[in-house]
Structure 1
Amino acid sequence: MQEPTILWADDEIDLLKPHILFLKDKGYTIKTVTNGSDALDAFKAEHFDLIFLDENMPGLTGLETLTEIKNINTDIPVVLITKSEEEYLMEDAIGSKIDDYLIKPVNPKQILLTIKKILDNKRLVGEKTASAYQQDFRNLLMTLNDNLSYEEWADVYKKLIYWELELQNLEDQGMHEILTQQKREANTQFSKFVEKNYVKWLNHPEDAPTQSHQLLRTKVFPFLDSTPTFFVLIDNLRYDQWKIISPIVSEYFRIESEESYYSILPTATQYARNAIFAGLLPSEMEKRHPNLWQNDDDEGGKNMYEEDFLADHLKRARKEVKFSYTKVLNYEQGKDLVDNIHNLINNPFNVIVYNFVDMLSHARTEMEIIRELASDEKAYRSLTLSWFENSPLLEALKKLSQKNIRLVITTDHGTIRVKTPSKVVGDRNTNTNLRYKQGKNLAFDAKEVFHVKNPADAFLPKVNVSQSFIFAKEDEYFIYPNNYNQFVNYYNNTFQHGGISLEEMVIPFIMLSSKG
């Protein structure tokens, strides 16, 4: 690898010879000049990896030289060195996009630390991160062999996401493959855990995690008598996507708690999201609201009556509060939300359902350009971040941050990138979702699915006597044997939901308050 080359401009450069010899011994090439004009001439003539500028030079000052250099190349890192500790000078330097700021006298090791921090930061951080993950890998491996509780499974998932985000910029393909395999093994064990416990959770909620139908009653309704609450549900928002946007949100809000809950099965919008707003499981919704509940084979939209479900839920909970319900399905509706946000402040409870991430996952399946832009998990997160930074939702949140409100950010279910086809046979009335199937006389490989023979056991609607449900596990997706290769080519590596995985079931639930 080529030695890094450094340009050092200081009118007292002769006094710095010990520093320069020290750096040369460390493998750096140093070019010295005594004023800003010569620094600019050298910069235009040669390539440098880093520039040191003395602030108090004859002719062009360090800050003036910095401005000229940044006009030529904004990417070159520059360090300002000065005798002055005046605050205005520091602020001017920071405003001029300086990379570091040192006060004279400086010692050689201080200079070396600055060089490493700027030039070797990526490599050093990468090496340290890889080393830390290797140490934690064994702990995670041992943890997966334990008999974990639902709280511990949520912690395992958060730990895996932590490492996925830490390693995502590391150019070590082997490390990525190890983590990918570890996530796959975690999902294998988690699927067995859910298969063993899910029906028991529904029938014995005292020994179960908080699930979709309990979310509002246990985590939101108790606060409605105090501060106005905004409940923002971003459809399909996984925990890793929340971690990507959370630094932006935390600029405007204080994160009071970062918890998780479990989505019910199927992890699909019509089941999980309706359960949140109704405070009921699917079979209970069908019984209590026969005119509102829609089964898979019913015609029409499956999430048309969320506001009605919510109104009834509030009434049953004896929360006689004024509330609003806003669903945003496109950019124009998002701008309408921004314009109308001031009218919602006086309501004790406001629900906002924002649909972009769900549309992104579906668009990735349907549109070739989105497939290319979101080719892997890192790119998928990057698209989510880009959307959020430029979305009307962020505009609305900025306005809310100026008011004394409580904010909840959550979702109804996540998604998983599917890679393993699983053959299933059903009649023409079988639903189309790739991660769960319900119908009569389903044929499948029993080892690859969680089979609920009697839907009533899992509080699922039962349309006919021979109906059952099957749920895909890990990264599998259901494919009919007819046109098998065509469907595999179309759906492989797409983001789907409805089945059992950490990504789909372990849901972020974030409670925030205004910083003001």
Structure 2
Amino acid sequence: MSKINILWVDDEIDSLRSQIMFLENKGYHVSALTNGYDALDFLKENIVDVVLLDESMPGITGLETLGKIKEIDQQIPVVMITKNEAENVMDEAIGSQITDYLIKPVNPNQVLLSLKKIIDNKRLVSEKTTTAYQQQFRELFMALNDNPDHRGWADIYKKLVYWEMEMQKADSESMTEVLSSQKAEANTEFAKYISRHYADWLKPNAKDAPVLSHTLFRDKVFPHLDPNVPNFFILIDNLRYDQWKTILPIFSESFRLVEEDTFYSILPTSTQYARNAIFAGLLPVDIEARFPEEWKNDDEDGGKNLFEEKFFAGQLQSLRKDMRFSYTKVVNHNDGQHLVNNIHNMMNFPLNIIVYNFVDMLSHARTEMEVLKELASDEISYRSITASWFEHSPLHQALKKVADKKINVIVATDHGSVRVKTPVKVIGDKQTTTNLRYKHGRNLNYDPKEVLAFRDPKDAGLPRPNVNSSYIFAREDGYLCYPNNYNYFVNYYRNTFQHGGISLEEMIVPVARMVSK
């Protein structure tokens, strides 16, 4: 590796010769100057990796020099070194985008540590992260083979997401590939686990079932509603657990996290089924029985999520809860602006439900629009674009307007999504549904090893749209394609984010409780 070039600017540079020698013995190349004017001329002609800058110098001060350095190169790291401990000086230096701040007298190890933080930070983080993951790799491997229950699977998935996000910081291609293989293995075993246990979870009085979509309000929301303060239940559609972890720091600027957990989305992991189940507190087969006019099957005309408010009122009635609530759905920019303008009025309700559709729309738009395929080409960029959206969203603006009030916030989703890579061939008649991660129809032909099938939809808590209808669900990263124009659809949908099937990413989803700071 070539030597790192340090520029040290101090009007008493002769007194620092021993420190300069110390750094040079550590492999750094140090150029020493006594004033800001010479430093600026030097930076115009030479490549410098870090500037060590004295604050108190005659002629042009360190702060003045700092401003002009940033005009030459906005990105160059600058460490301010000063005898002046005045808060206003520190504030001004930090506001001018210094990288570090040292108080004289400094010893050589202080300077070395600062340089390591700046220059070697990425390498050190990468080495530490890959070493730590290597140590936990075997633990995760053993957990996968230890017959985990639904709590164990949630824990495994959380750990995989943690390491996925740590590897993003480390930027280690080889270890990222190892982690991807382990995650793929986990999804394979998870699909087997769901195949064995899912139907049992749905039986009345099921023992040791996880919190599912239709029990979310009962188990995770109603017990925590404070009758003395406004409560906000925010459902961000199609939000994976890793996307939640990406936007959590933005929430944390205004709210304190009280509890973070996960629950299991029902199958199909799609808006029509999972979200309606959340608000109705019922499985889809029971929603159809109780609300036959409002429930729409995939092959029926009409909106599939138009009656969530009515479903929720029905859930309150069934539980004998007398509670005033507001319901707001945001599906476009105008809805978002209305939310911002109306958020203070919601403070008059004990419970406010906000359904925000952006992430789901992003997922679908990414499939259709080439530019979004570039912007969200993989999980890392998908997380990044989600964080950018939330930071600038009307939802964030609205919450900031009431963050200084005493409120409770519960954030959840209806399902996640998975990046599909493996085509699975399915044959069906004209009535077969078009979703890539699940299908139902009367004459489905498929390889039973590649899907989870329910010949009787009631076993999965689902309506039977037609006589002899059955459901199949894609597993892991598979996506269901018909033989007609097979190669075209395989290539068109490969590496798109889809939902409706069985994967850790789609089924194990976040629910978090926060309070005002």
TM-score scaled by structure 1?
Answer: 0.98
CA distance in structure 2 between the aligned counterparts of 1:219 and 1:5, rounded to whole angstroms: 56
CA distance in structure 2 between the aligned counterparts of 1:421 and 1:302, rounded to whole angstroms: 27
Amino acid in the other structure paired with 1:57 = M
1:224: Cα distance to partner? 5.1
CA distance in structure 1 between the aligned counterparts of 2:109 and 2:328, rounded to whole angstroms: 58
Amino acid in the other structure paired with 2:175 = M
SS in 2 for 1:511: strand
1:231 alignment partner in structure 2: 233
CA distance in structure 2 between the aligned counterparts of 1:56 and 1:289, rounded to whole angstroms: 76
- CA-to-partner distance for each residue in 1:291-343, whole Å, 9 max, x for gaps? 11111111111111111101111111122111111111111110111011111
SS in 2 for 1:51: strand
Conserved? CA contact 1:81–1:101, under 8 Å: yes
- Residue in structure 1 matching 2:421, options 419, 422, 430: 419
1:446 alignment partner in structure 2: 448
2:215 alignment partner in structure 1: 214
SS in 2 for 1:438: strand
1:407 alignment partner in structure 2: 409
Aligned: 1:46 with 2:46:
yes
CA distance in structure 1 between the aligned counterparts of 2:469 and 2:442, rounded to whole angstroms: 5
1:463: Cα distance to partner? 2.9
CA distance in structure 2 between the aligned counterparts of 1:115 and 1:387, rounded to whole angstroms: 34
1:182 alignment partner in structure 2: 182
Amino acid in the other structure paired with 1:136 = Q
- CA-to-partner distance for each residue in 1:137-160, whole Å, 9 max, x for gaps? 111111111110111100110100
2:383 alignment partner in structure 1: 381
Conserved? CA contact 1:224–1:349, under 8 Å: no
Conserved? CA contact 2:417–2:499, under 8 Å: yes
SS in 1 for 2:277: helix
CA distance in structure 2 between the aligned counterparts of 1:226 and 1:214, rounded to whole angstroms: 24
Aligned: 1:20 with 2:20:
yes
CA distance in structure 2 between the aligned counterparts of 1:452 and 1:476, rounded to whole angstroms: 17
CA distance in structure 2 between the aligned counterparts of 1:483 and 1:42, rounded to whole angstroms: 64
Conserved? CA contact 1:337–1:396, under 8 Å: yes
Alignment gaps of 5+ in structure 2 = none
- CA-to-partner distance for each residue in 1:209-235, whole Å, 9 max, x for gaps? 000001112221231534211111010
1:323 alignment partner in structure 2: 325
Greater mean alpha carbon deviation, residues 86-95 or residues 232-241 = 86-95
1:265: Cα distance to partner? 0.7
1:68 alignment partner in structure 2: 68
- Residue in structure 2 matching 1:352, options 351, 354, 370: 354
Amino acid in the other structure paired with 1:96 = S
CA distance in structure 2 between the aligned counterparts of 1:115 and 1:370, rounded to whole angstroms: 38
Alignment gaps of 5+ in structure 1 = none
Counting only pairs closer than 5 Å after superposition, residues 4-403 of structure 1 correspond to structure 2 as 4-203=4-203, 204-222=205-223, 223=225, 225-403=227-405
CA distance in structure 1 between the aligned counterparts of 2:81 and 2:492, rounded to whole angstroms: 58
Aligned length: 515
CA distance in structure 1 between the aligned counterparts of 2:514 and 2:274, rounded to whole angstroms: 23
Question: Cα RMSD between the aligned structures?
Answer: 1.1
Q: Report the identity percentage.
A: 61
Question: Per the alignment, do residues 491 and 232 of structure 1 end up closer, same or farther by CA in structure 2, a change over 3 Å counting?
Answer: same
Amino acid in the other structure paired with 2:115 = I
Amino acid in the other structure paired with 2:90 = M
CA distance in structure 1 between the aligned counterparts of 2:431 and 2:402, rounded to whole angstroms: 46
CA distance in structure 2 between the aligned counterparts of 1:496 and 1:490, rounded to whole angstroms: 13
CA distance in structure 1 between the aligned counterparts of 2:245 and 2:466, rounded to whole angstroms: 43
Conserved? CA contact 1:221–1:319, under 8 Å: no
Moved over 4 A (4+): none
SS in 2 for 1:378: helix
CA distance in structure 2 between the aligned counterparts of 1:7 and 1:463, rounded to whole angstroms: 74
1:8: Cα distance to partner? 0.7
- Residue in structure 1 matching 2:491, options 476, 489, 492: 489
- CA-to-partner distance for each residue in 1:208-266, whole Å, 9 max, x for gaps? 00000011122212315342111110100000101111111100000111001000111
Amino acid in the other structure paired with 2:110 = Q
SS in 2 for 1:106: coil
CA distance in structure 1 between the aligned counterparts of 2:449 and 2:107, rounded to whole angstroms: 66
Amino acid in the other structure paired with 2:214 = H
CA distance in structure 2 between the aligned counterparts of 1:465 and 1:389, rounded to whole angstroms: 48
CA distance in structure 1 between the aligned counterparts of 2:116 and 2:84, rounded to whole angstroms: 24
SS in 1 for 2:202: helix
SS in 2 for 1:205: coil
- CA-to-partner distance for each residue in 1:86-110, whole Å, 9 max, x for gaps? 2222222212211111111111111
